[in-house]
A and B are shown apart, each in its own frame.
Chain A
Amino acid sequence: MTLLATNAQISAPRARSRALTRFLSNRGAVAGACVIALILAMAILAPLITRYDPNTTNFLAIRKPPGLAYWLGTDELGRDLFARMLYGARASLMAGVISVSIAIAIGLPIGLIAGYYGGLVDMVISRCTEALLACPFLILAIALAAFLGPSLANAMVAIGLAAMPIFVRLTRGQVISVKAEDYVEGARAIGLPHHVILIRHVLPNVIAPVIVQATLATASAIIAEASLSFLGLGQQPPSPSWGSMLNTAKNFIEQAPWMSLWPGLAIFVVVLAFNLMGDGLRDALDPRRS
C-alpha cells in the first residue's frame, strides 16, 4: 500500500523507449535488475553449481561452520547450506512471483470491470476491496495460510489473495482516469464492443503502473513468504525456503549464527533488488518524476 505506484500515463511507443533509456540510466535500478537476474540464474542452475543435495542429511557433519568442504556451513541435520540456499532461492523467488501473479490475475480483471462499468458493479467491488484492505495484509495472509494448511503452494495462494485488493484498487483508479481520455471516448463513439475497448485501448494504458506495483509487491511477497514460513505456515521440511531456513535457524542462533545469517541476508538482498528495480521502473514510467 505504501508502495502504491503513482499514476502514470504513457501512451505512445516513443514514450516507452524513452522510459527504457531512463531506466537504464538509473544505476540502482540496473543493479537491482542484475542481482535478480543473477540469483534467478543461480536458482535455475542450482544442480550444476553445487554437488550437494539440499535435503540429504549427514549426521556426522551437524552445524559445521562455513569452510572449504561446506562453503556456507551446514545446518542442524548436516545439510549443506549453500545447496539449501540455492534451492531455497527457487522457493522464495517462486513465492514472490507466483503470489503476485495470482494477485494480478484476479485483481486486474476485477479492477478493469469495476473502473470501466462503474455504477453498482463498481460500488460492490469497491466496498469488498475496502473491506479486504481493512484487514492488515499479513494478518489476512496468516489467517488464509492457516485455513489452507501449511505448505508453500498455499502460502503463495494466501499471499496472492491478500495482495489482490491493492491491484483491484490501483487498476480501477487507472481505468477511471483513462476512461475520460479522448481515444477511449472516441472508440466508444464509433461503437466498438466493450471487450475490444477494454483490451485494446484501456488495458495498455493501465499496465505500466501495474508493472511497477507488481515489482514492488514481489518484494513484499518475498518478505511475506518468509514471515509465514517463520511462523511455520510456509514451505515445509525437508525442502528449503529462505523463510523456513530462518525459522529453524532461530533455534540455533547462538550455536550456529551462520544458519540465520545467510537466509536473512539473501532475503534482504533480493528484496532490496526488487525495491530498487521497482523504484527505477516507476521513475522511468512516470514522466512527471524525471
Chain B
Amino acid sequence: MTRYPLLATGLAALLACAAASPASAQSTFRIGLQEDPDALDPHKGNTYVGRVVFAALCDKLIDISPKLELVPQLASSWTISPDGLSITIKLRAGVKFHDGEAMDGEAVKANLDRARTLADSRRKSELASIASVDVVDASTILLKLAKPDATILYALSDRAGMMLAPKSLASDVAAKPVCSGPYKFVERVQNDRIVLERFADHWRKQDYAFDRVIYRAIPDTTVRLANLRSGDLDMLERLAPTDTKSVKSDASLKYVEITGLGYQGLTVNVGNGPAADNPLGRDKRVRQAFSLSLDRQALSDVVFEGTYPPAIQAFPPSSFAHNPDIKLPARDVAKARQLLKEAGLDKAPIDVEIQAANNPVFLRLVEVVQAMAGEAGFNVKIRSTEFATLLREQVAGRFQMSSVGWSGRADPDGNTHVFWTTGGGQNDGKYSNAEVDRLMNEARTRYEPAERRKLYDAVQKIVQEDLPIIYLLYWNWPYVVSAKVDGFVPYPDGIIRLNGMKITR
C-alpha cells in the first residue's frame, strides 16, 4: 500500500490510503487456474496449466499465431536446408535470462541437449529426430536431423523450445526456474499459488503491463468464478459451460472463448487383447453404426451448453490439416440399424461397455452417449474409474471403449501419429493399418503444409472408415476476464499470453 506519512490528519491519510490501494493493486494480475501445475521445469512439465505459467515465465524459440502460423520469439528467423536435414536458427540479439546471463547459441545448445538427454525429460520423443545441435556462432544455431521432421518446429514452439538460464541447469530447476520470459519467478506455494514479477530487462517489456502476476489453483469451477466475481481474481480459465449464460449477462465480466486443438472422443479397443473380441472391436460397420447413432450437436448442447463444437475428425478447424469436405453426418438411427443388420447383429441389443474417468462433466457426456446409442440398439454400460486407473486399464487393454480427451497439439502430427500408427504411444486400442502407417510417416517428412495436407487427407479416408477413435467434440477454451481488463487474445492452444493485456478503468 502506498503511504503518505506526512499528511496532516489521520483521516486524510486514511482516505489517501483507500484511494491509493486500487492503484497499486492494478499492477498485480491474478489468474485462476483449474489445477495446480506440476513441475515448473519445461523439460519435465506435463500439464496445460504448467504451460500457462510458462508462457509468462519462459520464452521459447518460436511461438504460434492465433492462426497457428509459426512466428519468431527467441529465434528471429530460421531456414530449412533443401534436403530437409538441417535447420539453421538465427537468435534474437541482446536477450538476457533472469539471472543476467546472455541468451546465446551456447545457452540454446545446453537447453536442447538437456531436453534430449535428461533421464526423465518428457521432451525426448518430440526432439527425437535431432541428431546434433551445433553452435555456429553466438547468434546462430544449427540443428542436424537424422531424418526430415516437419514436426520439430512446432515442438520448438512449446516447452521443448523454452530456454533456461545455463547456470540454473545444475540446480533444482522446478524449485526456482530461471528463464528469459517477461516475468521472473518469485515463489510457489504448492496447491495454492505461483507468483511472478516483472523482468525489467525483457526484450519486449513494453508489451507487458503488469508488475506482478499471480496464478492461483482453484479446482472448483463455481468457487473459481465466485472469486472472479468478488474481485479476488482478474481472470480465469475453463469456465464451467453451465455458467456461460450468467457470465455473458454480467456487465462486470467479459466472456472470451476459442475452439481449441484438442478433442473428446471414444477410443475403441480394436486389437488390444481379448477385450477387443466384441462386435464393436471386430466389425467397423458396428463402429460406424455407433457413430451414426450420436447427435453430436445435441451432445454438446446438453453437456457443454453448445460451447464445444461437434467433431468428426482429429484435426481442429484451425489446423491446416483440417479437411472441411469431411462433413459432420446428421444423426441417422435408421441407417445405424441398417448397418447393424448388414453385420448380422440386429437381433438382440449389442452390449458395449464404455470406460470413463469419474469426472462429473465427462461422465455426463458418456451418459448422453449411452442414451443416444441405446436408441440404435446398443446396450451401453458405463464403467467409471479414477483417471489413474483408467489409464492403466487402457494400456493393459482391459476396455471395449474408453472415453478420452486429448489436449491437442499445434502440429497435426501430434493429434494423430501416436494414436493411429502401429505401436504408437497413445494407440491403446492397438489399431494397425500399414497404409496409414506409411502415409503418416511420409507426412512427417514434408515441410510444405499443402503437401502434408494431401497425405493427411488420404489417411483420413481410411480412418473415417475404420473408426478406431470415434471423435465427438472439439475442446473449447472458455475464459472469463474482468471487464476492467483489455487486450486479451485467445489462442487455439489455450495458453494465456499476457502481452498487450492491461487493466483499464
Q: Which residues in A have some Cβ–Cβ distance to B below 8 Å? A: 57, 59, 62, 76-77, 146, 149-150, 232-233, 236-238, 247-248, 250-255
A230 to B382, CA, bound (A): 19
| Structural contact, A237 and B386, CB atoms closer than 8 A | no
A1 to B221, CA, bound (A): 34
Can you list 13 contacts pairing A with B, beta carbon distance less than 8 Å? A57-B368, A59-B302, A76-B302, A77-B364, A150-B386, A233-B386, A236-B358, A236-B384, A237-B382, A251-B240, A252-B242, A254-B222, A255-B242
Nearest opposing residue in chain A for B226, CB measure = A254
Nearest opposing residue in chain B for A237, CB measure = B363
The verdict on B359 contacting chain A, using a C-beta distance below 8 Å, is yes
The verdict on B370 contacting chain A, using a C-beta distance below 8 Å, is yes
The answer to whether A251 and B384 touch (CB under 8 A), given A59-B298, A77-B368, A232-B359, is no
Q: Which applies to chain A's interface (DSSP): helix, strand, loop or mixed?
A: loop
Task: Determine the chain B residues whose CB is within 8 A of the CB of A232 once the complex forms.
Answer: 358-360, 386
Minimum Cβ distance to chain A for residue B370 (Å): 7
Looking at B221, B360, B361, B386, the one whose CB has the most chain A CB atoms below 10 A away is: B360
Task: Determine the chain A residues whose CB is within 8 A of the CB of B221 once the complex forms.
Answer: 251
Minimum Cβ distance to chain B for residue A227 (Å): 15
The answer to whether A238 and B360 touch (CB under 8 A), given A62-B302, A150-B385, A250-B222, is no
The answer to whether A251 and B386 touch (CB under 8 A), given A59-B302, A77-B367, A232-B360, is no
| Structural contact, B364 and A248, CB atoms closer than 8 A | yes
Q: Which applies to chain B's interface (DSSP): helix, strand, loop or mixed?
A: helix
Q: Known contacts A59-B368, A237-B384; can you find 10 more A-B pairs with CB under 8 A? A: A59-B302, A77-B364, A149-B385, A236-B384, A237-B367, A250-B220, A251-B240, A251-B360, A254-B222, A255-B242
Looking at B222, B358, B359, B382, the one whose CB has the most chain A CB atoms below 10 A away is: B358
Within 8 A of A (CB), among B215-274: 220-222, 240, 242-243, 245-246
Task: Determine the chain A residues whose CB is within 8 A of the CB of B371 once the complex forms.
Answer: 57, 77
Task: Determine the chain A residues whose CB is within 8 A of the CB of B81 once the complex forms.
Answer: none
| Structural contact, A253 and B222, CB atoms closer than 8 A | yes
A31 to B389, CA, bound (A): 44
Task: Determine the chain A residues whose CB is within 8 A of the CB of B222 once the complex forms.
Answer: 250-251, 253-254
Minimum Cβ distance to chain A for residue B467 (Å): 25
Nearest opposing residue in chain B for A234, CB measure = B358
Task: Determine the chain B residues whose CB is within 8 A of the CB of A236 once the complex forms.
Answer: 358, 363, 382, 384
Ranked nearest first, the 10 interchain pairs of A and B with the lowest CB-CB distance are: A232-B358, A236-B384, A57-B371, A248-B360, A237-B363, A150-B358, A238-B367, A59-B302, A255-B242, A237-B367
The answer to whether A77 and B358 touch (CB under 8 A), given A248-B364, A255-B242, is no
A253 to B220, CA, bound (A): 12
| Structural contact, A146 and B386, CB atoms closer than 8 A | yes
A77 to B370, CA, bound (A): 12
Minimum Cβ distance to chain A for residue B417 (Å): 32
Nearest opposing residue in chain B for A59, CB measure = B302
Looking at A62, A251, A255, the one whose CB has the most chain B CB atoms below 10 A away is: A251
Residue in B243, B358, B363, B370 whose beta carbon sits within 8 Å of that of A254 in the complex = B243
A286 to B222, CA, bound (A): 47
The answer to whether A149 and B389 touch (CB under 8 A), given A237-B367, A250-B222, A251-B361, is yes
| Structural contact, A77 and B302, CB atoms closer than 8 A | yes
| Structural contact, A255 and B360, CB atoms closer than 8 A | no
| Structural contact, A247 and B302, CB atoms closer than 8 A | no
Minimum Cβ distance to chain B for residue A31 (Å): 35
Minimum Cβ distance to chain A for residue B110 (Å): 41
Minimum Cβ distance to chain B for residue A82 (Å): 19
A150 to B245, CA, bound (A): 33
Nearest opposing residue in chain B for A248, CB measure = B360
Within 8 A of A (CB), among B295-329: 298, 301-302
Task: Determine the chain B residues whose CB is within 8 A of the CB of A254 once the complex forms.
Answer: 222, 243, 246
Within 8 A of A (CB), among B353-409: 358-361, 363-364, 367-368, 370-371, 382, 384-386, 389
Task: Determine the chain A residues whose CB is within 8 A of the CB of B220 once the complex forms.
Answer: 250
Task: Determine the chain B residues whose CB is within 8 A of the CB of A233 once the complex forms.
Answer: 358, 386
A250 to B245, CA, bound (A): 17
Minimum Cβ distance to chain B for residue A242 (Å): 15
Task: Determine the chain B residues whose CB is within 8 A of the CB of A255 once the complex forms.
Answer: 242-243, 245-246
Task: Determine the chain B residues whose CB is within 8 A of the CB of A237 once the complex forms.
Answer: 363-364, 367, 382, 384
A76 to B368, CA, bound (A): 11
Minimum Cβ distance to chain B for residue A23 (Å): 42
The answer to whether A238 and B382 touch (CB under 8 A), given A59-B298, A77-B302, A253-B222, is yes
Within 8 A of A (CB), among B120-156: none
Task: Determine the chain A residues whose CB is within 8 A of the CB of B386 once the complex forms.
Answer: 146, 149-150, 232-233
Task: Determine the chain B residues whose CB is within 8 A of the CB of A253 once the complex forms.
Answer: 222
Nearest opposing residue in chain A for B301, CB measure = A59
Minimum Cβ distance to chain A for residue B38 (Å): 20
A76 to B301, CA, bound (A): 11
A149 to B388, CA, bound (A): 10
Nearest opposing residue in chain B for A247, CB measure = B360
A233 to B222, CA, bound (A): 20
Task: Determine the chain A residues whose CB is within 8 A of the CB of B368 once the complex forms.
Answer: 57, 59, 77
Residue in A57, A62, A149 whose beta carbon sits within 8 Å of that of B367 in the complex = A57
A234 to B57, CA, bound (A): 40
Minimum Cβ distance to chain A for residue B70 (Å): 38
A253 to B243, CA, bound (A): 10
Task: Determine the chain A residues whose CB is within 8 A of the CB of B384 once the complex forms.
Answer: 150, 236-237
A232 to B386, CA, bound (A): 8
A150 to B386, CA, bound (A): 7
A158 to B290, CA, bound (A): 37
Minimum Cβ distance to chain A for residue B360 (Å): 5
Looking at A149, A237, A253, the one whose CB has the most chain B CB atoms below 10 A away is: A237
A248 to B368, CA, bound (A): 15
A232 to B382, CA, bound (A): 14
A59 to B367, CA, bound (A): 12
Minimum Cβ distance to chain B for residue A238 (Å): 5
A150 to B364, CA, bound (A): 16
Minimum Cβ distance to chain B for residue A87 (Å): 15
Minimum Cβ distance to chain A for residue B248 (Å): 13
Task: Determine the chain A residues whose CB is within 8 A of the CB of B361 once the complex forms.
Answer: 251
A237 to B386, CA, bound (A): 13
Minimum Cβ distance to chain A for residue B354 (Å): 12
Minimum Cβ distance to chain A for residue B241 (Å): 9
A255 to B244, CA, bound (A): 10
Task: Determine the chain B residues whose CB is within 8 A of the CB of A146 once the complex forms.
Answer: 386
Residue in B242, B301, B382 whose beta carbon sits within 8 Å of that of A251 in the complex = B242
A253 to B385, CA, bound (A): 25
Task: Determine the chain A residues whose CB is within 8 A of the CB of B302 once the complex forms.
Answer: 59, 62, 76-77
